[in-house]
Amino acid sequence: MELAYYSDYAVRLVNTEEPARNKDCLTSVEAIRELFGLNRQAARRATDTDVTRFRSVRARLRAVFEAADGGDETLAVDLLNSLLLEFPVSPQISGHETRDEDGKPDWHMHLADHPSNATAGYAAIAAMGLAFHLTSYGVDRLGLCEAPPCRNAYLDTSTNRSRRYCSDRCATRANVAAYRARKRLETERAAETGRNAETAQATTPSTDR
């Protein structure tokens, strides 16, 4: 498992809340366990007390995305560093269940789960994954969806750093809204031009011969 994979942990957690819509999906132990995906062993450690702790980590991760989206690289790095210090990772070389053509393990880096509690384990993985993405691709690759009122977090992996939306759905919605806005403006301008022409015609004195 590559370290880049772990950056999705941060995105998944941040996007459990949509502040502009007053929507929060992180309300139960079951919701927390779903965040771990296939990592069932770590998910089983989640308890009711982790709900509040996960929300706290989520707010701090969103602050990283907000700083990056606002162009404040230093703040984004400082906020992420504070998470890395509080929730250290345990990197390990792993080759479980993977073999190359010769039957040898396909060695790769793996972040071991923190044994103390579910929040510490998830936060450590999410922070390290996000740090790896940030240092590998740049702070400007951390973004918040520009389609209001969404503001979901996303990681830009496009070749030309052009991503602006969290999903194709939001991109389509934003494009449709922009198209309708342009059409309204064109209609208003046409109507204004027509009114100006009528006014000019009405105020132009006629010439009798």
Rounded to 5 degrees, what are φ and ψ at 36?
A: -75, -10
Q: How far is residue 171 from each of residues 38, 134, 176, measured CA to CA in Å?
A: 29, 23, 9
- Kind plus residue range of the DSSP H or E element containing 147: none
Say yes or no to pLDDT of 161 above 80: yes
Share of the chain above pLDDT 90, in %: 53
d(CA 155, CA 8): 8
The pLDDT, as a whole number, for residue 109 is: 77
> What are 52's strand-pairing partners?
none
**At residue 174, does pLDDT exceed 80?**
no
Closest CA to 54 of 113, 3, 126: 126
Distance CA 118, CA 87 (A): 12
Token readout for 138 is 């740049």
Q: Is the pLDDT at 30 greater than 60, yes or no?
A: yes
Closest by CA to 86, choosing from 36, 124, 45, is 124
What is the C-alpha to C-alpha distance for residues 78 and 126, in angstroms, rounded to an integer? Answer: 16
Q: What is the residue type of 103? A: G
What's the chain's average pLDDT? 86
Indicate the burial class of 124 (C-beta count within 10 angstroms; 0-12, 13-18, 19 or more): buried
